Amino acid sequence: MDIFFDPYSDYGFKKLFGEEGSKDILIDFLNTMLPERHQITELTFSDKEIVPAGMLDRKGSYDIYCTAVNDDRFIVEMQKARFPTFKERALIYSVWSLQNQIKRGDDWKEKKHFAAIYFVGILNFVFKKEFDDDGGVIPNKLYTNVRLRDDDSTLFYSGLTMKFIQMPLFKKTEQELETRFDKWLYFLKNLPSFDHIPRILNEPVFSHAFDVAKLGNMAPEEREAYNKSVMDTLAYFGAIEEGRETGKEEGRIEGRIEGRIEGKIEDVLNMKAEGLSVEMIARITKFSVEEIEQLLHKQ
């Protein structure tokens, strides 16, 4: 029987890192990736939905969105399945965070200071193969730290940093852990399989994290919400797999939808909720009317 919850579940991730009572856990985890001058002492959770000005723009919905006492902004996103345009999504979310620093009606040209933005993506997949300008394969790394630099590596803009952690590439055993960052990745990757707290993680912040993640500490309604989160995830992946098989066997539109629409379902549903017609949604998303109708029918 499992003792601890799965941190890759939507409920588990937000309970571990996104609640007031677990701020010390999130702060300690983020500080392992931040320079000394940007170390966090306190965080304030912000509204996780930033609504852009344009009616047709979708909402930016993050797993965790928070602000440090020095006004630095942090977007922390957990992604369990491969998302074809995750890098683009990271950029879009970061731009929305930048845009959100300007109050409606203000003249953005008068804004003298913008807070630094950090996007942290914890990925339970490896990026698909991509190529650089010379045709060489871009190597996938466990930890990628991205900043805006010129061709000669001169820093162009210091206000945006994106960090991507490709968890399948983390292979260290308990005996091989060297840094606090290693410890956190070891904790996240192995949490559901632990039957006790490893000696190397016997520290106050990890003890608190284990306590939060213990299934036996959940109230009945919390356990029900967690189980639903896990079942929803399994159903989602089952639907994707079924779509793949349908596409293979029948060669019909369902198979094409799974490949093209993965990650865009929320866009379509949001536009429909805004009152847009199926024809308008199809024009915006570049899907056919038939594809949009089939998607809406399945929801």
Average pLDDT value for residue range 71-86 = 86
Q: Are both 197 and 69 inside the same structural domain?
A: yes
Note down the domain range covering 44: 10-217
Task: Quote the pLDDT of residue 264.
Answer: 63
The answer to the question of residue 224 being in a domain is no
The residue assigned the tokens 């094409």 is 256
pLDDT at residue 36 greater than cutoff 90: no
Of 42, 32, 33, 93, the closest CA to residue 65 belongs to 93
- Given 161, 195, 217, the domain boundary residue is 217
Residue bearing the bigger pLDDT, 129 or 232: 129
The answer to the question of residue 259 being in a domain is no
The answer to the question of residue 222 being in a domain is no
Side chain identity, residue 252: R
pLDDT digits (tens, 9 = 90+) for 252-279: 445 555 555 555 676 677 667 656 778 7
Q: Are both 175 and 91 inside the same structural domain?
A: yes
pTM over 0.85: no
Q: Are both 208 and 278 inside the same structural domain?
A: no
pLDDT at residue 170 greater than cutoff 60: yes
Alpha carbon distance 100, 51 (integer Å): 9
Q: Are both 86 and 189 inside the same structural domain?
A: yes
Its sign, for the CA torsion 164, 126, 233, 241, is positive
Contacts 24+ apart (CB under 8 A), 24-28: 24/205, 24/208, 25/205, 25/208, 25/209, 25/212, 26/64, 26/66, 26/76, 28/180, 28/184, 28/205
Q: Tell me the C-alpha to C-alpha distance, in Å, between residue 94 and each of 79, 91, 112, 157.
A: 16, 5, 19, 13
pLDDT digits (tens, 9 = 90+) for 195-246: 999 999 999 999 999 999 999 999 999 999 888 878 776 665 555 555 555 5
pLDDT digits (tens, 9 = 90+) for 84-103: 788 998 998 998 888 888 87
Q: How many domains does the chain have?
A: 2
Task: Quote the pLDDT of residue 269.
Answer: 73
- The alpha carbon of 165 is separated from its chain's Cα centroid by a whole number of angstroms, namely 10
